[in-house]
Structure 1
Amino acid sequence: MTTYSPQSPDLAALVEDWLDWSEAAALLGVTPAKVRTMIRDHELAAAAPHSDSGLRVPAAFLQDGLVVKGLPGLLTVLHDGGYDDREAIEWIFTDADLPGRPIDALRENRGSEVKRRAQALA
């Protein structure tokens, strides 16, 4: 997992709502340790949105008590392509090639095009 650096994009401006691991765990019905494992296994991604904050998970990665469908596969593709969590989150929330952000497409069950574009980056 990456940490904040001054050269990093301002993720706080890209991602509106963030969850600490306890909040994410509560929404998923798991322990914070399981959230840590999910981040390690690229089922979720976490980054520090501010220089003075710890690692957090974008709230948009969770929907109806589950990880958004297609997100783990997309994160794996991005990580295999050399992206770290911070870069993956940035891409998921800013890619202008889709109608809307990739996270919006995933949340609307339109993940095939998102994954195809991510594979093209790798």
Structure 2
Amino acid sequence: MSNIENLVAEWLPLPDLAEALDISIKKVHSLIDERAIICVRVGARNIRSVPADFVLDGQLVDSLKGTISVLKDSGYEDEELLVWLFTADDSLPGTPMEALRAGRKTEIRRRAQSLSW
């Protein structure tokens, strides 16, 4: 887990995510259940949190849910998925998450789909 904690610069505990998105905590739990977002336990207090980069301009990054689905279909577990999203790739440049935030969904989905082969 510490690898993920080091890769992600900022984490939002679930109540903070609800506030950032202006939704109820119940809706946050629904997003987790729907696999629209991935949460993991981080920090010394082991609090369920999501990467702050999942939020852009007060909303979830638009292409996140579909990208998570592609990675899950490729057999990635939650922690592996987060490592993939937040690990720098010289061919991008940057991380896949940075590319998603910049609107480069097609390129990232193509790369994610190729992981299952």
After superposition, the CA RMSD in angstroms is: 1.4
5 Å-filtered alignment, 1:57-96, equals 57-96=50-89
Provide the C-alpha distance between the structure 2 equivalents of 1:95 and 1:40, rounded to a whole number of angstroms. Answer: 28
Gapped regions of structure 1 (runs ≥ 5)? 1-7
CA distance, structure 2, for counterparts of residue 50 and residue 25 of structure 1? 19
Aligned residues: 115
For residue 51 of structure 1, report the CA deviation from its aligned partner.
5.9
Deviates more, 1:69-78 or 1:89-98: 89-98
CA offset digits 1:46-103 (Å, max 9, x no partner): 1123464122100000011111021100000111111122111110001524211001
Aligned position for 1:23? 16
Name the aligned partner's letter for residue 31 of structure 2. Answer: M
Structure 2 gaps, min length 5: none
Q: 3-state DSSP class of the match of 1:78?
A: helix
Indicate how the Cα distance of structure 1 residues 50 and 10 shifts in structure 2: closer, same or farther if over 3 A, else same: farther
Name the SS of the counterpart of 2:47 in structure 1. coil
User: What does 1:1-122 align with in structure 2 at a 5 Å threshold?
Assistant: 8=1, 10-50=3-43, 52-96=45-89, 97-122=91-116
More strand by share: 2
Contact 1:45 1:85 (8 Å CA) reproduced: yes
SS at match of 1:10: helix
